[in-house]
Chains A and B, each alone.
Chain A
C-alpha cells in the first residue's frame, strides 16, 4: 500500500492503484445512495486547489508587519483578527498566532496526527504529515531545521507547539530587514508557507520572487 508506488504507477501509465479504485467505488456508492452530491465534492476539491492556501496566511502576516494595531489584535485573538480582514472567509475558532522574535523561534507540529491551520495555510504539505517530521520536531528541532537548510544561532530559544487539541497555530515570522516602507502586497511576497510553520524564515528582499 505504499503511496510512492502508487504515484509511480499513476505517473507512468493507466494502471489504477488499488486505493484509486476503492475511492472511485466509494464515490459511486455514496452518490448512488444519495449521501453525497458530486457537485459538492467538486467544490471541496476546488476550494483546496485554488482558494484556500498559504497565500491567505501570507496576507495576514504582511498585514501584521505593516500595521502594529493589527499585530496586537492578531496575537491577542487570531480568529477574531483574521476574521476582521474580510479577504479571507471566516476562520474557525481557536486560531493562535505565535510571534518569532530575535530571541525565540517558534515551530508548529502535530505529533499525534497532522493538525494544521488549514484555513490560513491550506492543505498541509506531505512532509508535515510524515513520520520524520512528527517524530523529530519535539526532540530535535534544530536537526529538522537543518533538513530545510535553516540554521539558527545557538543562543536562539526554540519553542515547539504540539497541536494536541483543536487550537491551531500559525507562526508570525520576523520581518526581514530592508523592507521599510514596503506595501502589504509586496511584503506578502516574502512570506513563505514554511515561515508560517516555523521550518523556514521569511525571504530576504533579494530572495523575493515577485
Chain B
C-alpha cells in the first residue's frame, strides 16, 4: 500500500538525532511490549509480513505520531482481536473473561533463545532465476493497496542485478493469507540519477532487495 511507512526520499522530517548511550529500552513497558509481540509471534498464527502490514495499516497521522513500541503494542492488540484470541470486552476489562484458545505452540522460558533466532525465509525450488548478475532490469510500476516491499522511490526504475539471493517467501501474498508463494530474490542496484534525477549526488548508488515479480527486463 502507498502508505506513509514508505518513507524513502521524503523531505521535511528534519535531522537525524542520535542519542548518546541510548538504553535498550526507555521505559519498562517497551521491553514488555516487545516481549509480548515476540512470544505471540512464536505461536505461528501470523507471519512477519502480516505483522508489518498491521502496522502499515494504521492511519498515517497515527503512524507518524506513535513511537516504535507504541506501534508494536497497538499492533499486537489489533492482531489478537483480529484472530479472535482476545475479545474487545477483555481488552476493556483488562482481564481475561474466558479461557484461552489452544495455540499451535506457546513459548516456554527455556525456548526463548530459539525463539529469538530468526528463521529462514528461503524455500526449496527446482526453478531457475529468470535474471542473472549484470542483467539490466526495470522495476514494475505497481501500486497494490495491500502489503508490498517494493518502495515507491524505486518503482519504474532501471537498475542492474547485483546478486541472486535465493528463492524466498513472497511478502505480497503471504501478508494477505495467499500463501508463501516463494519467488527468486535479487539485489538490484540503482544509480542515484535514475532514482533522484539530475541533481542527485553522483557518488551515490542505492540497492533494494527485489523479488522477481517486481522486475521486468530493461
**Shortest beta-carbon distance from A145 to chain B in Å:** 9
1/0 per residue, CB under 8 A from A, across B177-218: the answer is 000000001010000000110001101111111110000000
- Counted as pairs of residues, one from A and one from B, with CB atoms less than 8 Å apart, the total is 298
Question: Once bound together, how far apart are the Cα atoms of A47 and B149, in whole Å?
Answer: 29
Interface status of B44 (Cβ within 8 A of chain A): no
For B92, the closest partner residue in chain A by CB is A25
Q: Could you tell me if B15 and A132 are in contact, using CB atoms closer than 8 angstroms?
A: yes
Question: Once bound together, how far apart are the Cα atoms of A139 and B13, in whole Å?
Answer: 13
Q: Could you tell me if B100 and A44 are in contact, using CB atoms closer than 8 angstroms?
A: no
Interface status of A12 (Cβ within 8 A of chain B): no
Question: Once bound together, how far apart are the Cα atoms of A47 and B31, in whole Å?
Answer: 10
Question: Once bound together, how far apart are the Cα atoms of A177 and B36, in whole Å?
Answer: 45
Q: Could you tell me if B112 and A160 are in contact, using CB atoms closer than 8 angstroms?
A: no
Q: Which of A79-117 contact B (CB under 8 A)?
A: 89-94, 109, 111-114
Q: Could you tell me if B16 and A132 are in contact, using CB atoms closer than 8 angstroms?
A: yes
| Stretch from A64-72, A149-157, A179-187 forming part of the interface with B | A149-157
Q: Could you tell me if A164 and B210 are in contact, using CB atoms closer than 8 angstroms?
A: yes
Q: Could you tell me if A111 and B29 are in contact, using CB atoms closer than 8 angstroms?
A: no
Question: Once bound together, how far apart are the Cα atoms of A109 and B29, in whole Å?
Answer: 26
Given contacts A26-B73, A93-B120, A112-B151, contact A37 B108 (CB under 8 A): yes
Interface status of A22 (Cβ within 8 A of chain B): yes
**Shortest beta-carbon distance from B149 to chain A in Å:** 5
Question: Once bound together, how far apart are the Cα atoms of A28 and B207, in whole Å?
Answer: 43
Q: Say which residue of B19, B112, B165 sits within 8 Å of A94 (CB atoms).
A: B165
Given contacts A1-B70, A139-B8, A157-B205, contact A48 B34 (CB under 8 A): yes
Q: Could you tell me if A130 and B17 are in contact, using CB atoms closer than 8 angstroms?
A: yes
Q: Could you tell me if A25 and B94 are in contact, using CB atoms closer than 8 angstroms?
A: yes
Given contacts A35-B40, A138-B9, contact A89 B113 (CB under 8 A): yes
Residues of B within 8 A of A157 (CB): 203-205
Q: Could you tell me if B35 and A160 are in contact, using CB atoms closer than 8 angstroms?
A: no
Chain A residues with CB under 8 Å of chain B are 1-4, 6-7, 10, 17, 19-20, 22-30, 32-37, 39-45, 47-49, 52-53, 89-94, 109, 111-114, 118-119, 122-123, 125-127, 129-142, 144, 147-148, 154-168, 194, 199
